[in-house]
């Protein structure tokens, strides 16, 4: 395996180990996502058909908001004890650091998504089980796109005066195409359409991930340097 990937896997392993030992990030994210879904229930009349059409949107809003909460911690933990300086001093490529961090965030988001889906089934009364295999691709693209953009900006917002408060303002506008693709393909899959029907959205989601991961790998060096 090329050195680049070994380095990023080491970063990923470190992040997962921290998460496994503290279990603070994912717990907070899951609880927040749960709250978002519940609060959305109050926005609509219970058991109205609107709730079902809104379900894909509610799912992604819960995932993204909770994800933002987790992302802001992603680099905040590196700020303690000057860990970021330590990371910078390692011979690892800045791109590898980005990739490791991004994969860590993406895994957290995927776990989060897996936790929200049952909540959606129970509280919004949506039938998800038959569409589950076809949901994997849209969710994967959505979370990867989010993790790429979010990781870049979470490293940036750490050095601003507003800290975490700036993260959503940077991330959300940038995320519009990926979010649209994720919500629309989720909706189409829930409505029972095959994947071929949403090929355009999937291509868009995949291309977004590819371009942004590539751009972030190149640009991350400029974000990390002091």
Contact set with other proteins (CB under 8 A): 149, 152, 156, 159-162, 166, 169-170, 172-174, 176-178, 180-181, 184, 200-201, 204, 207-208, 211-212, 215-216, 219, 222-223, 225
Q: Which is nearer to other proteins, 28 or 156 (CB)?
A: 156
DSSP state of 219: H
CA angle 22, 64, 11 (to 5 degrees): 45
DSSP state of 195: G
Tokens in use for 146? 């989010």
To other proteins, the closest distance from the beta carbon of 54 in angstroms equals: 15
Q: Which is nearer to other proteins, 146 or 201 (CB)?
A: 201
Give 18's contacts (C-beta < 8 A, 6+ positions apart): 77
To other proteins, the closest distance from the beta carbon of 222 in angstroms equals: 5
Q: Which is nearer to other proteins, 47 or 199 (CB)?
A: 199
**3-class secondary-structure state, position 125:** coil
Q: Which is nearer to other proteins, 131 or 210 (CB)?
A: 210
To other proteins, the closest distance from the beta carbon of 215 in angstroms equals: 6
Q: Which is nearer to other proteins, 36 or 166 (CB)?
A: 166
To other proteins, the closest distance from the beta carbon of 58 in angstroms equals: 18
To other proteins, the closest distance from the beta carbon of 130 in angstroms equals: 22
DSSP state of 131: G
Q: How far apart are CA 27 and CA 19, in angstroms?
A: 10
To other proteins, the closest distance from the beta carbon of 184 in angstroms equals: 6
Tokens in use for 18? 């921290």
State the CB neighbour count (10 A cutoff) for residue 190.
21
Residue pair 217/99 in contact (Cβ under 8 Å)? The answer is yes
Q: Which is nearer to other proteins, 39 or 215 (CB)?
A: 215
Q: How far apart are CA 60 and CA 3, in angstroms?
A: 35
Tokens in use for 84? 């970021």
């Amino acid at each position: 395996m090329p050195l680049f990937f070994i380095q990023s896997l080491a970063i990923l392993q470190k992040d997962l180990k921290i998460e496994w030992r503290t279990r603070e990030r994912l717990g907070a994210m899951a609880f927040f996502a749960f709250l978002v879904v519940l609060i959305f229930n109050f926005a609509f009349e219970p058991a109205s058909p609107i709730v079902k059409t809104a379900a894909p949107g509610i799912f992604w809003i819960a995932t993204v908001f909770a994800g933002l909460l987790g992302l802001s911690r992603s680099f905040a933990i590196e700020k303690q004890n000057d860990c970021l300086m330590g990371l910078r001093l390692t011979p690892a490529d800045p791109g590898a650091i980005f990739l490791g961090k991004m994969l860590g965030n993406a895994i957290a988001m995927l776990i989060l998504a897996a936790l929200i889906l049952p909540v959606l089934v129970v509280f919004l009364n949506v039938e998800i089980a038959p569409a589950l295999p076809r949901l994997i691709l849209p969710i994967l693209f959505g979370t990867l796109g989010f993790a790429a953009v979010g990781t870049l900006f979470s490293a940036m917002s750490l050095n601003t005066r507003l800290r975490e408060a700036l993260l959503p303002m940077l991330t959300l506008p940038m995320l519009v195409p990926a979010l649209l693709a994720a919500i629309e393909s989720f909706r189409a899959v829930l409505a029972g359409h095959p994947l071929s029907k949403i090929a355009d959205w999937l291509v868009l989601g995949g291309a977004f991930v590819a371009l942004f991961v590539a751009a972030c790998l190149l640009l991350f060096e400029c974000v990390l340097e002091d």
